[in-house]
Amino acid sequence: MAQKSAVAARAPKKKASSWQKRDWVAAYIFIAPVTLGLLVFYIWPFFQNIWFSFNDVNKFNMSTFVGLENYIKLFSDKEVWKAFGNSLKYVVITVPAGLFLSIFIAALMNAKIRGKSIYRTLYFLPSVTMSAAVAMVWKWIYNEQMGILNTAIKAAGGSGHAWLTSPSTALYCIMLVGLWMTVGYNMIILLAGMQGISVTYYEAAALDGAGPIQQFFKITIPMLTPTIFFVLITSIISGFQVFDTIYMMIGKTNPAYDDTQTVVMLFYRQAFDYGYKGYAAAISLFIFIVIMIVTVIQLIGQKKWVNYD
């Protein structure tokens, strides 16, 4: 837009068009690396992945067309449903818990208190650290014999527990690490949202005699819904993607192996441990479709509760 008016002011019509052509050439040169890179490494692979899912792909990438076989196998494979259930459990628990905790901490931080920036820095810290490294630390904390968690419980008179090796607790322990890593990050986003709410609303409410709790539920939460929605969507998507922590914390001989195998974990093992790349491609498309459906439901459902003014 900008250059058009400038060019028109500068030169007669004919010259303008040659300037414009040079402009187009420049534009294509500017976008070439990203566009070609994305085409080769992302867009083409997207379609190739769909093709793979209808094939049996062996170690040497020789593929034989098998039609819907991978998909038929997928729907009757108990391991897939178990993994899907684990992922769902992970999302259904960590997303609301994480949202609650991050809103709660953001609300505390939104008060006029001292040392706010120190709190903010420390709460944010886990989200800049490598999840693979942090998972090792947590594994050590959870250790049955020598871990500090069981030591503390025993010191308090309780009895220790095999946190990461019992099927009933392992996934929950992983969820806790996930929450530990993400709550501070989401808190920062929500706090920024809270600070963007105009003071005049609170002043008006205070004049009407609304207390802090009432103000929180009648002003802060409704005004924050667009930010809450953003955090909700991104948390659900990343909840379905959990991989690093499980890979690091659960070994192949762990009795809780099946109970902590999420869909992305299963995808990785099928593709790169067992070498069933066609089947893994079908699993990855299944994950994609599930995330798409959940996101679309969220986008439709948001009209009922998200305020945009």
Partner 1 sequence: MRGKSNMYHLIVHLLLLAGIVIVVFPFVWMVLTSFKTNGEALHIPPTILPEQFVTQAYTEILGALPFATVYMNTIISTVITTVGQVLFCSMAAYAFARIDFPFKNIIFVLVLSVLMVPGQIFLIPQYTIVQKLGLLDTIPALFLPNLFSAFGTFLLRQFFMSLPKELEEAAVLDGCSRYQIFGQIMLPLVKPGIVALVIFTAKFAWNDFMWPLIVNTSTDKMTLGPALSTLRGQYTTQYPMQMAGAVMAVLPLIVLFFIFQKQFIEGVAQSGIKG
Closest separation in Å from C-beta 39 to partner 1? 8
Instruction: Say how far apart CA 100 and CA 47 lie, in whole Å.
Output: 39
Instruction: Say how far apart CA 200 and CA 205 lie, in whole Å.
Output: 8
For residues 263-282, which are near partner 1 according to CB under 8 A? 264, 267-268, 271-272, 277, 280-281
Closest separation in Å from C-beta 199 to partner 1? 17
Closest separation in Å from C-beta 44 to partner 1? 7
Question: Residue type for 106, please?
Answer: A
Q: State yes or no: residue 74 binds partner 1 (CB under 8 A).
A: no
Spell 164-189 as b/e; 16+ CB within 10 A means b.
bbeeebbbebbbbbbbebbbbbbbbb
Closest CA to 247 of 136, 92, 93: 136
Which strand (E) or helix (H) includes residue 174? helix 170-195
Kindly tell me which residue out of 80, 86, 182, 184 binds partner 1, with binding defined by CB under 8 A.
184
Dihedral-angle region of residue 215 (phi above 0 means left; psi in -120 to 50 means alpha; beta otherwise) = alpha
For residues 106-165, which are near partner 1 according to CB under 8 A? 108-109, 111, 113, 115, 119-126, 128-134, 136-141, 145-146, 148, 151, 154-155
Closest separation in Å from C-beta 277 to partner 1? 5
Closest separation in Å from C-beta 59 to partner 1? 10
Closest separation in Å from C-beta 17 to partner 1? 13
Question: Residue type for 272, please?
Answer: F
Instruction: Say how far apart CA 214 and CA 206 lie, in whole Å.
Output: 10
Q: Which is nearer to partner 1, 74 or 264 (CB)?
A: 264
For residues 90-109, which are near partner 1 according to CB under 8 A? 105, 108-109
Q: State yes or no: residue 79 binds partner 1 (CB under 8 A).
A: no
Instruction: Say how far apart CA 251 and CA 165 lie, in whole Å.
Output: 9
Closest separation in Å from C-beta 209 to partner 1? 16
For residues 10-29, which are near partner 1 according to CB under 8 A? 10, 22-24, 26-28
114: Cα within 13 Å, side-chain hemisphere: 0
Closest separation in Å from C-beta 4 to partner 1? 7
Question: In whole angstroms, how large is the CA radius of gyration of the chain?
Answer: 26
For residues 185-214, which are near partner 1 according to CB under 8 A? 185, 188-193, 196
For residues 28-47, which are near partner 1 according to CB under 8 A? 28, 30-31, 33-35, 37-38, 40-46
For residues 227-266, which are near partner 1 according to CB under 8 A? 227, 230-231, 237, 240-241, 243-244, 247-248, 251, 264
Instruction: Say how far apart CA 55 and CA 282 lie, in whole Å.
Output: 9
Q: State yes or no: residue 88 binds partner 1 (CB under 8 A).
A: no
Q: Which is nearer to partner 1, 171 or 264 (CB)?
A: 264
Closest CA to 53 of 302, 306, 308, 280: 280
Q: State yes or no: residue 84 binds partner 1 (CB under 8 A).
A: no
Instruction: Say how far apart CA 264 and CA 83 lie, in whole Å.
Output: 9
